[in-house]
Amino acid sequence: MGKNLGWVDENLKLGIHEYPFNVQSHDQPNLEREMSRSYDIAKEFQEGFKRFVDSTIIAVCD
């Protein structure tokens, strides 16, 4: 995306594209359970989620 758009402001460490705050890999054994619980942010992605929320709100309020 950076190559096409020219820059990336923030590069986060998240999960799979489809569930960036819930699922680490398509191969994980509990994939469907994690997808069905995607209304909660998984513990390992909470830091990334905070940065995502911060980044969005700062951009909007800037």
Partner 1 sequence: MSKIQYIFQAGSLYREFRERRMRFGVNLPQLTQDGVSIHKVDFVSNNYSCLLREDQDVVDNIQFPYMLFLPEGNKQFDEVIIILNGLNESEYRKFFPWAASFAASGIPTIIFPIAFLINRRPKGWFIPEEVGKKLSVRRNLEGNSTCTSYNVILSERLHEHPERFFLAGLQTYNDMIDLVNTLYCGEYRVWREDRTFSPFTKGTRVHFLGYSLGGYLALILFLGVGDNPILSQGKLIIFCSGAAINSHDPDLNANPISPLILDRNASERLIEFYKQGKNFPHMEKVEALMFKAVFLSDQSILGPNLERLKKRIRIIGSGNDKVIP
- Write out the residues near partner 1 by the rule CB under 8 A: 1-22, 26, 35, 37-41, 46, 49-50, 52-57, 59-62
The pair phi, psi for residue 23, each rounded to 5°, is: -125, 130
* Minimal distance, residue 30 CB to partner 1, in Å: 15
* Minimal distance, residue 36 CB to partner 1, in Å: 8
7-21 core/surface letters (b: 16 or more CB in 10 A; e: else) = eeeeeeebbbeebbb
* Minimal distance, residue 5 CB to partner 1, in Å: 5
